[in-house]
Chains A and B, each alone.
Chain A
Amino acid sequence: DVKVTQSSRYLVKRTGEKVFLECVQDMDHENMFWYRQDPGLGLRLIYFSYDVKMKEKGDIPEGYSVSREKKERFSLILESASTNQTSMYLCASSFSQGKYFGPGTRLTVT
């Protein structure tokens, strides 16, 4: 059974702080993804990675960066958090096509 875990379920940060969200999967999946989910806007792709040290921008990469130093771990970094980055962040991994999602991190930036 695939397990995708995220470092925090809830996070509160102040404007301007550097924020790290971590995602770990235990199924040796090549592909990992970071989405944000906002009401009425569905799931929007921030960044994805097909392999270690490899990353590609998604649809809304501005204000975010990522790191993938190990196959099982994919980190999302908010360099300087802003209030408009308050959202639910979902990590996912996949082997071929179907995605397995983590439980999500609800980030509030005040």
Chain B
Amino acid sequence: GENVEQHPSTLSVQEGDSAVIKCTYSDSASNYFPWYKQELGKRPQLIIDIRSNVGEKKDQRIAVTLNKTAKHFSLHITETQPEDSAVYFCAASGGVSNAGKSTFGDGTTLTVKP
């Protein structure tokens, strides 16, 4: 089945710096790649997603890039703020091997120091 690896597992940045989280996937048929943010004690929430026919997508301070050939995608957060501190999960779905259900990475704990 699909396998998603996420790096790093923890990331600490200074407020105002950029943060980058990377994920790789194994099923070349996967075509949908969402990112979820989970603040402490709260539910995961979808923050941005990208489909396989697009190479990059931006929404204010966050962006996601996708390299289908290399089978990896990344989340970029610019001008980080303390409220960006959370656990971020990537996921991949839509491939033949997982029939629409998402496979999640293990998560990255981002800490933004003021």
**A residues touching B (Cβ–Cβ < 8 Å)?**
31, 33, 40-45, 48, 50, 56, 58-59, 90, 97-104
Contacts and interface: CB of A to CB of B under 8 A. Distances in A.
B43 A41 contact: no
A33 B34 contact: no
Interface stretch (B56-64, B68-76, B94-102): B94-102
A103 B43 contact: yes
A102 to B, nearest CB: 6
Interface of B: 1, 6, 9, 32, 34, 36, 42-46, 49, 89, 93-94, 99-107
18 contacts: A40-B9, A41-B106, A43-B104, A44-B104, A45-B103, A48-B101, A50-B100, A58-B101, A59-B1, A97-B32, A97-B34, A97-B49, A97-B93, A98-B49, A99-B46, A100-B46, A101-B44, A103-B42
Contacts of A58: 101
Binding site secondary structure of chain B: loop
B101 A42 contact: no
A48 to B, nearest CB: 5
The residue among B32, B94, B101, B104 with the most chain A CB atoms within 10 A of its own CB is B101
A100 B43 CA distance: 9
B46 A102 contact: no
Contact of B104 (A42, A56, A97): A42
Contact of B46 (A31, A33, A48, A98): A98
B46 A42 contact: no
Contacts of A98: 34, 46, 49
A45 B98 CA distance: 11
Given A42-B105, A45-B101, A97-B34, 6 more contacts: A42-B107, A43-B44, A56-B99, A90-B43, A97-B49, A99-B36
